[in-house]
């Protein structure tokens, strides 16, 4: 259409229902080179997602260089799941990610998962392992088998040095310390360790975030629990909320982007069930967790775990269209929720993803541009 164009002016008054609308990228199981992270951030800006949670460390890889503990990146960063290449971000590269995000109104939330999911760190520094011996690198996809030596002074210094370094590189208010699946520890060991870790985060001036198991640690006011259960009821979280905690909702059976769309989806897992687009959309974050009122809900986040992901295209396929659903639930008032309206808007988004070269899953029943609608589909 040749110019000049005239566009009527207008004033739009809009504001989000929840302040926190996030996506998580697991760069530990599959390392994402810097350029791919920046492209992923571009995708988030399309839907006013304003937090990028980077899962920087796990059993299979350590992805952020820490100057005072150089083997974390050199050794811990050398592997990934399977035979995928390792990798890590230098402080300069991490700052590039943060600045690119900040310029797009996105806050980076770094996660150093502890005390579990730590095999990569232990391969680098055996003195952090409970038995003092560095385990071999792990490139499988099991969880829950690793833990730091929780009552050792060296471990405390490790946590202080790592969280201090990451906090210094992160302008956002949040520091995520993980806390999931520390199955080799007793509840007392876990609580003792996470009490200390919460204090170390507080000393950096950041607000602590943890997977909702962190509820077992001392109720630090203002802490944030990321709920990843599937039942909509978790008394420890409701109790923590009564003692001042806030909640980010990431129900495994609604927001986990690594869940298969359908049984025959090549990528992804199914431990939380199958999530087609209608299930990603069909819930209300403000009315989801028993005993957690809407005012205690910071917002929603869609985690993309990457055990089954080997490329950015795989990541995009699992992310779209479901991230658009989570973004709408996080932004719009309940009065604006509505499946048919969302479904029709999705058609236009599909055309934009096509034009932008973004890989996406063509959920059946959505009348995607260029496809005849499948009569009688479940989403019709």
Which residues are near ligand IFG by CB under 6 A? 143, 180-181, 211, 228, 256, 258, 269, 305
Helix ranges, the chain (H): 34-45, 71-74, 91-102, 119-124, 153-169, 187-204, 235-242, 252-255, 277-281, 312-319, 322-331, 339-356
Cross-strand partners of 67: none
Shortest Å, Cβ 122 to ligand IFG = 16
Using DSSP's 3-state secondary structure scheme, residue 62 falls into strand
Contact by Cβ (8 Å): 38, 9: no
Question: Token pair of 134, please?
Answer: 């560095």
**140 or 171: whose CB is closer to ligand IFG?**
140
For residue 341, the minimal CB distance to ligand IFG (Å) is 30
Report the nearest approach of ligand IFG to the CB of residue 319 (Å).
14
Which of 93, 181, 189, 354 is the catalytic position? 181
Check the CA dihedral 208-212-217-222 and report its sign: positive
Considering the complex, state which of residue 50 and residue 308 has its C-beta at the smaller distance from ligand IFG.
308
Q: Which residues of 37-56 are buried (b: 16+ CB within 10 A; e: fewer)?
A: bebbbebbebbebbbbbbbb
57 near 29, Cβ under 8 Å?
no
- Report, in Å, the least distance between residue 137 CB and ligand IFG: 17
Distance between start and end Cα atoms, the chain: 34
Nearer to ligand IFG, 216 or 379 (CB): 216
User: Shortest distance, CB of residue 181 to ligand IFG, whole angstroms?
Assistant: 6
* 8 A C-beta contact, residue 77 and residue 20: no
Q: Is-catalytic flag, 93?
A: no
CB of 211 to ligand IFG, least distance (A): 5
CB of 302 to ligand IFG, least distance (A): 12
Are 37 and 93 contacting, i.e. CB atoms less than 8 angstroms apart? Answer: no
Backbone angles phi, psi at 31, to 5 degrees: -75, 135
Contact 361, 319 (CB under 8 A): no
- Give the count of beta carbons closer than 10 Å to the beta carbon of residue 153: 8
The values of phi and psi at residue 55, to 5°, are -85, 90
- Closer residue to ligand IFG (CB): 57 or 155: 57
Neighbours of 354 (CB within 10 A): 14
Question: CA 314, CA 118: separation in Å to the nearest integer?
Answer: 25
- The torsion angles phi and psi of 259, rounded to 5 degrees, stand at -80, 140
Which amino acids are annotated catalytic? Answer: 181
């Amino acid at each position: 259409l040749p110019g000049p164009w005239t566009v009527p002016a207008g004033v739009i008054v809009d504001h989000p229902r929840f302040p926190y609308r996030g996506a998580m990228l697991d760069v530990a199981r599959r390392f994402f080179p810097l350029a791919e992270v920046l492209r992923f951030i571009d995708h988030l800006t399309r839907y006013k997602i304003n937090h990028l949670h980077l899962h920087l460390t796990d059993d299979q890889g350590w992805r952020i260089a820490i100057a005072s503990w150089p083997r974390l990146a050199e050794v811990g960063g050398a592997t990934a799941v399977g035979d995928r290449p390792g990798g890590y971000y230098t402080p300069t590269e991490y700052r590039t990610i943060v600045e690119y995000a900040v310029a797009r109104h996105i806050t980076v939330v770094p996660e150093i998962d502890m005390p579990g999911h730590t095999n990569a760190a232990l391969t680098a520094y055996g003195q952090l392992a409970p038995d003092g011996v560095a385990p071999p690198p792990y490139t499988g996809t099991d969880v829950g088998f690793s833990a730091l030596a929780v009552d050792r002074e060296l471990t405390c210094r490790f946590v202080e040095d790592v969280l201090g370094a990451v906090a210094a590189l992160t302008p956002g208010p949040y520091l995520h310390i993980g806390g999931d699946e520390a199955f080799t520890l007793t509840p007392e060991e876990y609580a003792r360790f996470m009490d200390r870790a919460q204090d170390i985060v507080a000393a950096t001036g950041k607000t602590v975030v943890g997977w909702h198991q962190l509820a077992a640690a001392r109720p630090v006011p203002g802490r944030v629990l990321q709920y990843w259960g599937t039942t909509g009821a978790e008394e420890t979280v409701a109790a923590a909320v009564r003692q001042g905690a806030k909640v980010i909702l990431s129900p495994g059976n609604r927001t986990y982007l690594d869940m298969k769309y359908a049984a025959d989806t090549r990528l992804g897992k199914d431990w939380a069930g199958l999530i087609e687009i209608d299930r990603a959309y069909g819930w209300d974050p403000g009315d989801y967790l028993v005993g957690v009122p809407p005012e205690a809900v910071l917002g929603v986040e869609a985690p993309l775990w990457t055990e089954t992901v080997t490329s950015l295209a795989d990541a995009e396929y699992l992310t779209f269209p479901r991230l658009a659903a989570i973004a709408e639930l996080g932004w719009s008032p309940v009065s604006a929720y509505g499946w048919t309206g969302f479904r029709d808007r999705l058609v236009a988004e599909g055309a934009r993803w096509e034009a932008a070269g973004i890989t996406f899953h063509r959920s059946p029943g959505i009348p995607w541009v260029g496809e005849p609608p499948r009569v009688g589909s479940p989403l019709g």
